[in-house]
Structure formats: structure tokens, C-alpha cells
Structure 1
Amino acid sequence: MPVEDEREPVGLMAPEDYARSRAAFWGGAAVLFTDAEGKVLVLDPAYRPGTLLLPGGGVDQRERPSAAAVREVAEELGLPIGVRRLLAVDWVSMGNPEFGTVYGLPGETISIWDGGVLEESDIARICLPEDEISSFHFLPPAQAVPQMFPIEGRRMLGALRARIDRAGPAVLEDGEAVGGGPALQRQNVIPRIAVGYQQIAWHPGSEPAADLPVKQAWVWAFDPLGRVVVLVDPRDGHCVLPGGTVEAEDDGPTAAALREAAEEADLHLRDATYLGYLHDPDGAVYGPGTGPNARARYIARITSLGPAPQDVATGITYGRLLVSPMQASELLGLGRAGSEQAEYAARTAAARWGIPLSPPQAAVEIPRTGMVAGQL
């Protein structure tokens, strides 16, 4: 019998040397939950008081990350809820100073899973382990981030953007998107919670009473594919619809909405059509002392988008995105009432102009140089 050749092929490493050369990592898994308003569930761990984090923990040996996520939710929240889809994967380098001091950390690969929206009945069933979790909170993303380790705040935002964007899992390294990431990541979008808007009534197709002044006018501006324009404020990453305050020199709310769209985004529209109004009964949303007022909503079709201008009112240049109406509602933080408004806007545009109903899809970043009708 021929003698087995035990020599190593030229240029290849010995097995033990190859094994030592490979990076070794721990595994972690976390879960992103929100409530009906879009607030994020964060925990205050007893072992790290005052620094919030998402539900989750380490992946045990021979355990899959998705199973670890389910187990951690059961242990930390007492909820038997399965994860839905992978939102983000973050590669954390060994010794990352933002991660905190963890003995023996060789680096970690953390997966963030979508736990969906928790209903009030789910929230009422949350049971915390006394020796591990001190409390839980539902916070707007912008309020949660400063109370988390920086890397964990970026990771949470990356997962939340991926959930809204539907463009697939975010790929992160030390909490930062690889290659800049998709549009929501590049624009540093922070989904907002529009304080007060979840409680004021939406009146589709109705005109406000004659004694109810219209203080603001905003527009759902549609492209031929059924997507709408949202503007990203670079100061805080929050999104708004085109529109704004009705000024004394405006020829009514429709003119105000068209003027604001042009000033803020060089957005030119046609066929502006009244959609309905929000009734602000005490003026608290607009400002103290305002009194009862209405906020008009319109739909319109995009003619063109010019170069991104500097807004004459604020001096800033907004980022501009095309998203489906339902994604716009999520980014605007209008809660369930906003979802109803977005669906009504889409169906009205479909019935009036034959514009298709746009499914949620990857957000499109409008170039700073603008887009003409043939590009829309």
C-alpha cells in the first residue's frame, strides 16, 4: 500500500496555524419592538443602570441567533413571541471602546430581529426578572438614542430604518452602515413621533367649519408609481410632508401648500385636490394660545423636482425621499390615525388619477440636482 503523504502542500498553513489565524467572535441577538405610536421598547438593566438597551443577550453554544432572540424575550419580558425577520447584523470589533467593558470580549456579531408592534394586551403581560431588568420604557427613537451606548443607539436606528425601508437587513460594522447603506441610512433618518397628532381627529373628505381657522396645509405629492415625497430635516433627521403655515399673503390653504412645497423642496405640483383636515381642538400641537384650528391635507401630482433649495424660512436644505404612503406614515410618526390618512390619500389618488397603490419598498433618494418628469 502506498504510504500516506503527510507533507503540507506548498503555500498552505498547517491546520492548527490556520485555526489560530481565524477571528473568534461571540454571538448576540436583540429584538426590536415598537408600540402602536412607533415608540421603541428599551430596557433599563439592573447590571447597567441608566443605560438603556434593546431586549436581547448572548447566543449560547449550539444555539441559533433566532432561537436566542426568542429565549431572551421570554426571559426578559415574559412574552412567548416569535421573531419575524432579520433587520440588521452588526460586527463589533474586539476592544470597541463604545461597547463598554465586557471581560474577555473577542468581538461579537449581533443580530437584530423584528418583534413587530406590541398591542396594549401584550404590554400588560410584560413581566420583568427582578434581578436583571429594573424597568422598561417605550420611547421615541430620538429620546432613546442618548440613553444608550452610542454603538447600541446606532444599531437600533439601523434596525428601525431597515424595518421601514423593506430593503433587506442592514449590514453594520461597529454600528455604522457598510458603504453608507440605503437611503434612510445615508440621510440619517430618525423616525419621529409627532407629539399630539395621534390624539387629534382626522376628518377625510370634510371641510372644516367656517369658524375653525386653517393654520397649516400639507400635501401628499404623488409620482406616477404611487410614491410620495417626504422631506428630511438635517438638524434632527425627522421627516415631514411638504407644506407648512398658511400666511396672510397666501390665497388660501391650497396656495400655501403649493408655495411651501416650492420653497422647501423646489417641488412643483399640479391638480392639487383637497383631502381632509385634522382637528386640533386646543391648539396644543401648533403652539400655546393658538386655540382650536384645522390642518388641511391635500393630494397632488408631481410635475418636477428642481435642485434642492435652501428653505427661505429656516435656511436649511432638506433631504428628499420617495417612499410609499404607508412608509411615509411610519417616518412621520403619526400613529394609526396617520396610517388611515396615508391609505385614504393613496386610494383617492388611485381613484382620481389612476395612480397605482405603491407597496412598501426601498426608499429612493432624490438627487440634489433634482428630477424631471421623465425620471419620476
Structure 2
Amino acid sequence: MPADDMRDPEGLMAPEDYARSRAVFWGGAAVLFTDALGRVLVLDPAYRPGKLLLPGGGVDQAERPSAAAVREVSEELGLSVAVGQLLAVDWVSRGNPEFGKVYGFPGETVSIWDGGLLEESDIAQIRLPEHEITSFHFLPPAQAARRMRPIERRRMLAALRARIDRAGPAVLEDGETVGLGQALQRWDVVPRIATGYQDIAWHPAMEPAAGLPVKQAWVWAFDPLGRVVVLVDPRDGHIVLPGGTVEMDDNGPKAAALREAAEEAALRLHDAAYLGYLLDPDGAVYGPGTGANARARYIARIDSLGPAAPDVATGITYGRLLVSPAQASELLGLGCAGAEQAEYAARTAAARWGIPLSPPQAAIEIPHTGMAALLP
């Protein structure tokens, strides 16, 4: 019962009974940092060997969660930073078996804040507290998640998705999304760091050299608002563009990209045009023993998306999302070449078709039943 409640006290709880009835919680705060490749900063605490954590800790009495986040970063990393957006809030119940045994634990509300991207100069200044933190690592999200407690894994991934989605904080209870959540949360999307792609070059508008085989072809498929289709692999939550391997029966890489888009995503495309290629100089991306090859990229306009169906090659029914090109680049994890490619695709679509440049926004899930024609 609030102290300034002026109602007739008859029938109301006594103040001391009301106070005892209220939930009592601890507070926790953590910070999500990434590097230029999209890898997540995690710490190896001496008091919990083998189980990684985001930088953070408990909120002191009379301390705001954002201030606690700043203080913990200073204490654990030796960095003076200002936290950005609130990315996630997790209500952890008393007795949660995933939390571990902590004396007197009454339950906790944990907030995850955005620390942004750490440059090399920032990373060089990290100083760990003696006897508390043994090491720090920048790991791909999936790899970091495997080395965290399950509840902290779900919390970290939810915060990372919320950062990319730009749709506001994720709301969790015991590490699980409350309600339907946003599309990236519903599909358990795990932003990738695509193996081998970080060092290969993007060649916009250029054709591969004579004799350089084109092994795969992928397509940036645009809707009228400048968003593109990406596919979610339900096996691991990773994101891919529509496209795939150029088969012997395909009439060139463009035909392969359009065929794969139809098979994987039931995409009907229009005005497909060549965009450029990625050079895989030693075949490391495609596979050992492949040799130098090119991976072509195309742009196209979406006519329609049919009902979701299993891919004829894999039997997988992919999730289908509409995101901005910049968000697609973040989710695909193709490094600098991916960011350059996404920007070039968006600007080419704008110049070619008058499609607007889409700002980052909440991902849209394409209905399982499909969507009618998107072109006027």
C-alpha cells in the first residue's frame, strides 16, 4: 500500500503486510560489445572456469542499472565507456536451476546494454582485474553461446538480435522470450561469422576472369520498400541469401540463382541483373581441393513469394524474412566485403528501379502461406 494512498484503510492490507507481499529481487547489468567482424566479447571468470560471461555484474543498492553496467566495465575491462541502448531485460525467478547456487538469491532482473563496437585501440587498452577475470575472447556468436550457461546464452543471443533488429529491447523471463517476440527472436536467429569470407575481395560490376569457374550464385531480392529476402536455416538459426550451387543443367549462374531462389524460398523474381562477384582465390570457402573460383551475386525484384515448402535438395523448409540490406550484411557475417556488397546492391537497385534505400528496421516474417505480388 503506497504511503500516500488516502483511501479508507478498511479492507486494505496493513503497510507491513503489503511490504512483505511484494517480490524482492536483486539487479544485474551486463554489456554487449562486438569487434569489427561481429564477434562478441566474453570473459572467462576465475570463479566460474569454463563458463564464459558478458562483462557485467550486480547492481548495488541505490545504483541505476545503466550506471552499474558502466562501473562493471571499468572494473572488469579497465575501459571507460558510455552504454547505449537497452537491448534486453531478463526476469530470473527465485530457485531457477540454471542460475546456480548463490546464497540468499531471491530472483533477479538482469539488463543487457549495448556497448557498441570496440576498435583495435580500445581492445589494446583492456586491463583485466587480477584473480577475478583470467582472460577475454572475441568469439563468433554461435561459438560464444556454446561456452555459456544456457540461460546466459539465450540472453546474449536475444540482446544481439535486438541490436540488429532495432525494434526495442527483448523481454525475457528465465532467459525465454515473453510472448511472440520479434521475428529474429521467434526464429532463434544466430548472427554468423561466415568462415573464410573475412579475407576475400568483392568485385562490383566486374565479370570473373576467363577460365575462373563460378561455383555458386546468390541473389539480393528486393521488395518495393528496399528490403531484401533472407532465409533462416532452422537447424542452426543461421541466415543465408537465396541461391546456391551452379549445377551442370543450369543455363549459367543467373539461372542457378533464380532456380535456387524458387526452390528454397518459393521466390518469383523479375528483372534479375548481374551485380558482381566474390573471389575465392584458393577454394577455402567452397571446399578443400576446389581451387580458385568465383561466387556471383545478382539483384532482382520480387514478383511474389509462394507458400513455404521443403527445399528439393535438402528437405529443409527455411524461414523467410524481409530486412534492410545493411541488416542482411550483419546477419550474414561476410565481413567488410559483405557490407560493401550490401551497400552496392541497395544503391544499384535504387539507381536501376527507383527503389528507396531501406533504413534498418524490425525484421518482417513472410507468412508461411506466402505473399501476393509485391510489384504494382
Provide TM-score, normalisation by structure 1.
Answer: 0.97
Residue number in structure 2 paired with 1:345: 345
1:96 is the counterpart of 2:96:
yes
Q: Aligned residue for 2:259? A: 259
Q: Per the alignment, in what secondary structure is the counterpart of residue 268 of structure 1?
A: strand
- Counterpart position of 2:322: 322
Matched-pair contact (CA < 8 Å) for 1:191–1:239 = yes
Q: For the residues of structure 1 that align with 2:90 and 2:158, how far apart are their CA atoms?
A: 9
Cα distance in 2 for residues equivalent to 1:277 and 1:375? 27
Q: Which residue is equivalent to 1:278?
A: 278
Aligned-pair distance for 1:163? Answer: 0.2
Residue deviations 1:226-251 (CA, integer Å, cap 9, x gap)? 00000000000000000000001100
Matched residue, 1:298: 298
User: Residue 3 of structure 1 corresponds to which residue in structure 2?
Assistant: none
Distance 2:324 2:131 in 1: 44
The 8 Å contact of residues 267 and 302 in structure 2, kept in 1 or not, is answered as yes
Count, aligned residues: 371
Alpha-carbon contact 1:201-1:278 (below 8 Å) kept: yes
Distance in structure 2 (CA, Å) of the matches to 1:56 and 1:169: 18
Q: Distance in 2 between matches of 1:222 and 1:333?
A: 20
Counterpart of 1:289 in structure 2 is: 289
Distance 1:256 1:317 in 2: 19
Residues 223, 374 of structure 2: 8 Å contact kept: no
| Residue 312 (structure 1) aligns with | 312
SS at structure 2 position matched to 1:179: coil
Gaps of 5+ in 1: 1-5
CA distance in 1, matches of 2:217, 2:11: 70
Equivalence for 2:3: none
Identity across the alignment (%): 83
Q: Distance in 2 between matches of 1:80 and 1:161?
A: 25
* Residue equivalent to 1:31: 31
Deviation at 1:334, TM superposition (A): 1.0
CA contact (8 A) 1:51 1:149 kept: yes
Residue matched to 1:333 = 333
**1:264-300 deviation line (CA, Å, top 9, x unaligned):** 0101101011010000000000000000000000000
Unaligned runs of 5+ in 2: 1-5
Alignment of 1:7-26 (within 5 A): 9-26=9-26
Return the offset for 1:40. 0.6
Residue aligned with 2:208, SS: coil
Q: SS in structure 2 opposite 1:99?
A: coil
Match of 1:154 in 2: 154
Question: TM-score of the superposition, structure 2-length normalised?
Answer: 0.97
The answer to whether the Cα contact below 8 Å between 2:224 and 2:375 also exists between their aligned partners in 1 is: no
What residue is the counterpart of 2:204 in the other structure? 204
Q: Residue 11 of structure 1: CA displacement?
A: 2.1
Does the Cα contact within 8 Å between 1:8 and 1:14 map onto a contact in 2? no
Q: Which runs of 4+ in 1 moved over 6 A?
A: none
- Structure 1 residue 180: deviation in Å? 2.5
SS in 1 for 2:161: helix
The Cα of 1:124 is off from its aligned counterpart by: 1.2
How far off its partner does 1:54 sit? 0.2
| 2:30–2:57 Cα contact (<8 Å) kept | yes
Counterparts of 1:212 and 1:104 in 2: how far apart (Å)?
65
Q: Look up the match of 1:87.
A: 87
SS of aligned partner of 1:275: strand
Residues 1:367 and 1:243: Cα distance change in structure 2 (over 3 Å): same
Letter in 2 for 1:191: P
Question: Per-residue displacement from partner, 1:43-66 (whole Å, max 9, x unpaired)?
Answer: 000010100010000011111111
